[in-house]
Structure formats: structure tokens, C-alpha cells
Amino acid sequence: MATTDVQTVGTGADKAKLAFAAFLLLAGFVAFYLLSAQGALAQWAALLVGVAAAVAVFGVSDAGRRLVAYGKDSWKEVKKVVWPTRREATQMTAYVFVFVFVMALFLWLTDKTLEWVLYSLILGWR
């Protein structure tokens, strides 16, 4: 029986960085509400500084570096996608509409046939 152990290694310094980033984000929001008397410019400046500082601290943490690497890898994969041409997309859309119409017609005919068999022939309600 083969088992693989999944280990999450987080250093104390990395956890401290994440906690500090959360603190900076919270401080930005608190400053936004505390600076309401100073005007909107001071409020938004405090909020943006808090968010930017939190993002910067998160970016130097291990989780931040992994998130950036994931984003880069995802962007590479998106570049590999072969998108359909306009003609292909139009054809596929037409196929879907035709299929939906045929399926709706089939279901309607099935419903009406069952209704006729059950109500008219078996139960005689009509």
C-alpha cells in the first residue's frame, strides 16, 4: 500500500509575515473609517497604503511567491489554448441551437403522446 505524506512546511517567520500582512490590511480598513473627519482623500490614501503594504508583505512570504508562480504558470497555459475561429464558433453555436430545438420538439411530442394515452385512452377523461 503506497501512501504519500502531504506535508505543509511553514516557518515561524513565514507565519509572522502572513499575520503582519493581515494586520496591515485590517489597519488600512480601520484607518479608512477613523479618518472620516479628514475627508475622502485621506481615507482612501490610508486604505490604499494599508492594502499596498499588506500585498507587499504577502508577496515576500512563501505563500505569496507560490501564488505568483501559480499565476505565471496559469498564464502560460492560457497562451497554449487554441481558440476557435469565428466561423467555427458560429457553426458550433448553430449546432447547439438546432439540437436544443430538436430536443424541445421531441420532449413536447413525447409529453403530448403520453398525455393522450393516459388521459384519453386509459382514463377516458376527455
Q: Confirm whether 23 is domain-assigned.
A: yes
Segment 89-114, tens digit of pLDDT: 999 999 999 999 999 999 999 999 99
| Cα gap 93→117, rounded to integer Å | 36
Contact indicator for 49, 28 with CB cutoff of 8 Å: yes
**Unique residue bearing C-alpha cell 498564464:** 75
Model confidence at 85, in pLDDT bands (50, 70, 90)?
Answer: very high
**Per-residue pLDDT, 94:** 98
Question: Do 121 and 73 belong to one domain?
Answer: no
| Cα gap 98→2, rounded to integer Å | 50
**Unique residue bearing C-alpha cell 475622502:** 40
The mean pLDDT of 31-44, rounded to a whole number, is 94
pLDDT of 88 > 90? The answer is yes
Count each helix (H run) and each strand (E run) in the chain, helices first: 4, 0
**Per-residue pLDDT, 102:** 98
pLDDT of 1 > 60? The answer is no
pTM of the predicted model as reported, rounded to 2 decimal places: 0.57
- Nearest Cα to Cα of residue 53 among 73, 26, 77, 84: 26
Model confidence at 122, in pLDDT bands (50, 70, 90)?
Answer: confident
What angle is formed at CA 63 by the lines to CA 59 and CA 66, rounded to 5 degrees?
Answer: 90
Question: Do 21 and 45 belong to one domain?
Answer: yes
Question: Do 61 and 30 belong to one domain?
Answer: yes
Q: What's the total number of domains in the chain?
A: 2
| Cα gap 48→25, rounded to integer Å | 9
**Per-residue pLDDT, 120:** 87
Model confidence at 121, in pLDDT bands (50, 70, 90)?
Answer: confident
Question: Do 37 and 75 belong to one domain?
Answer: yes
Contact indicator for 49, 30 with CB cutoff of 8 Å: no
Structural domain boundaries, residue 31: 12-80
